[in-house]
Amino acid sequence: MFDFRRSISPVFLAFALAGCADNTKSIDLRVGLFVAGEDRLSAWLRDDSNGIKEVELQGLDKALESTMTKAFRRVFASVDALKTYPTREMADNNRLDFVIVAELMGSGSSFGYESEGLWLRGDSDYSMSVKLTFYTHDMNQVNSVEASGKGSSDSIGIFSTPEKRALVKSVKAAIRNLGDDIVHQVHVNRDIRDIAEQNRD
């Protein structure tokens, strides 16, 4: 099993969670965010006998949840990460104006591998998509949008599985790009912004 946690550096996390600066004024609402299905993310890699196997990306859930939370904080004034599926009682107790359920719909990966004398080259493409469902504080559904992230990378060196290193880089890029697309999708959705503004009033 491939442990993703060993491959995430503190430098990457600081960069990925910070995101790009956004000059759009944030919506002054307190939002609760629940992330579901992050344990379904996996990828295809070579095994020791040069066969192909599916591996789980352990440790990805925390990095992914943190990235999405940071992305929504670029849109809304306050975002609380929820540990369990939200209910009306939870929204009331936490004084939430809005509730968002982010469900991972799927992920896909591909890789290539070739040898050049002593050097080995590997490349990887990774993509993921999420469905974002928005609810009012009393858990009436408002709208839903989809966001996605893609990443590509390659790696070369004298080691046995260069595509593993390429996979790590492509997953990092996909997470970062997913965060940017979340910000874009919410900002361009007038229904969400209009209802949020009405809810504030």
CATH number of the domain that 55 lies in? 3.40.50
Instruction: Calculate mean pLDDT across residues 145-160.
Output: 81
In a domain, 77, yes or no: yes
Query: Tell me: the pLDDT tens digits for 6-55?
Result: 443 333 333 333 444 444 567 888 999 999 865 566 665 655 555 566 66
Distance of CA 91 to CAs 7, 84, 88, Å? 36, 12, 5
Q: Is the pLDDT of residue 96 over 70?
A: yes
Instruction: Please tell me the predicted confidence (pLDDT) of residue 38.
Output: 59
Q: Which residues pair with 119 in a beta bridge?
A: 116
Q: Write out the residue range of the structural domain in which residue 90 sits.
A: 27-200
pLDDT band at 118 (very low <50, low <70, confident <90, very high): low
pTM, two decimals, is 0.74
* Among the listed residues 146, 52, 50, the one whose alpha carbon sits nearest the alpha carbon of residue 103: 146
Q: Between 95 and 121, whose confidence is greater? A: 95
Instruction: Calculate mean pLDDT across residues 181-201.
Output: 77
In a domain, 15, yes or no: no
If one counts every other C-beta atom within 10 angstroms of the C-beta of residue 133, the result is 16
Structure tokens at 168: 């790590």
In a domain, 14, yes or no: no
In a domain, 7, yes or no: no
**How many structural domains is the chain composed of?**
1
